[in-house]
Amino acid sequence: MSRKLFGTDGVRGRANSWPMTAELALKLGAAAGRYFRRDGSGAHRVVIGKDTRLSGYMLENALTAGFCSTGMNVLLLGPVPTPAVGFLTKSMRADVGVMISASHNPHQDNGIKFFGPDGFKLSDAAEAEIEAMIEGEIAPAKPENIGRAKRIEDGRGRYEEFVKTSFPTGLRLDGLKVVVDCANGAAYRTAPEVLWELGAEVIPIGTAPNGTNINDRCGSTHTDTAAEAVVAHGAHVGLALDGDADRIMILDETGRVADGDQIMALLAARWADEGRLQGGALVATVMSNLGLERFLAARGLRLERTAVGDRYVVERMREGGFNLGGEQSGHIVMTDYATTGDGLVAGLQFLAEMVRTGRPASELTRSFETVPQLLKNVRFSAGARPLDVASVRQVIEGAERRIEGRGRILIRKSGTEPLIRVMAECEDEALLVAVVDEIVGAVEAAV
């Protein structure tokens, strides 16, 4: 069964434009409610969280109406990180969890993603079934069976207590000065509070959301703000989260940025030394740097690659029994602790390593030398299919022949934005730039 509405991470789009409309959200809530109430038995519940986007209010209310119309009781968490929804769905014995967020995208965008009762994101097959139900008639509940909705005031606190359990017993962050950039997003209260309670001196930034400033020149995709704060305050380290706090970038004491690959390399080596790395492998996507693969191989470890998207990383981890994975973009998945990427938990693991070893962040974030990598994006209009254009295919094939044996090229359509992503790796930087620019030029001409 195919999916047209769902992408790599739920349903995404521009707020108040299809598919991110109140009408579609209502239908989506009703369809998901009916999907999870197919047995028709007893009371059923859904937990709904959101980030700080203005459009979150509209979508939250529409989803609530849809779920209640099919007899689901709705528990509203308010602004919480995406991993909190995964955790609380399972903890509160809910049938389904929903996060309203477009992650690292600007405030004009929004998204809806679902978690199953086990706290993991829904499979492609489940999403396809829900999508099919939207196109048909969705049977409403009888008047006496309409669901209720209520606010859960302590959802954030429950998640904070859980997050602290991921930090090693007996360690504290006393003496560490930490900048934390919350991207004016879902973790704007959670992250500073957790770090402070563990003993850190916290310099919080990106903690004044107003509905339209989420990810605006801050957070994991705009790290200059955090870097400047680290240097200005003489901090030991910086943690830059994205809008829904499921990804992180680490900044060392000089303000230099370490991406997800470096964080995963550090954790994989540590866990392997401790005998904790299940399966002797790290799961990452095709975007991860070749240097990471070489680093792991030198230690007798494997890199298992998947399609782009943390959900595909998690699926492979569950299939193979692996417990560590993630993305170069900063999703770090540790199934010993969480069911999805958790930026704050990953940040705490890094800080624990700083405390344990006494080494500065600048050393811990340089586990391997990266192979030069270049990524450029080309935006296209709705309905365009630039990768199907013959002239584009010819340029791509020619570029692949030129780089063969010296690097690799990866070209894909983004699953969350109307972008063609052109990425290449090659130790010959002149060749790297040349092949990427050739492909980008061809795609731009086609669109």
163: left (phi over 0), alpha (psi -120 to 50) or beta: alpha
Closest CA to 422 of 411, 437, 408: 411
Structural class in CATH, domain 260-364: alpha beta
Contact present, 406 and 431 (Cβ < 8 Å): yes
Q: Is 399 exposed, middle or buried (0-12, 13-18, 19+ CB in 10 A)?
A: buried
What's the pLDDT score for residue 1?
55
358-375: average pLDDT: 96
Structural class in CATH, domain 159-253: alpha beta
What's the pLDDT score for residue 285?
96
Structural class in CATH, domain 11-153: alpha beta
Binned at pLDDT 50, 70 and 90, residue 384 comes out as confident
Domain boundaries, the chain: 11-153, 159-253, 260-364, 373-446
State the Cα torsion 383-385-391-397 to the nearest 10°. Answer: 170
Tokens standing for residue 292: 């990471």
Q: How many whole angstroms from its chain centre is CA 204?
A: 21
Contact present, 343 and 194 (Cβ < 8 Å): no
For residue range 172-217, what is the model confidence (pLDDT) as tens digits? Answer: 999 999 999 999 999 999 999 999 999 999 999 999 999 999 999 9
What's the pLDDT score for residue 171?
97
Binned at pLDDT 50, 70 and 90, residue 66 comes out as very high
| Rounded to 5°, angle at Cα 263 from 416 and 415 | 10
Contact present, 396 and 389 (Cβ < 8 Å): no
- Does the domain spanning 373-446 belong to CATH 3.30.310.50? yes
Of residues 103, 166, 220, 367, which has the active-site annotation? 103
At residue 396, does pLDDT exceed 90?
Answer: yes
What's the pLDDT score for residue 447?
81
Same fold, 159-253 and 373-446: no
Measure CA of the first residue to CA of the last residue in the chain; give whole Å. 30
Catalytic site includes residue 103? yes
What's the pLDDT score for residue 300?
97
At residue 49, does pLDDT exceed 90?
Answer: yes
What's the pLDDT score for residue 40?
55
What's the pLDDT score for residue 189?
98
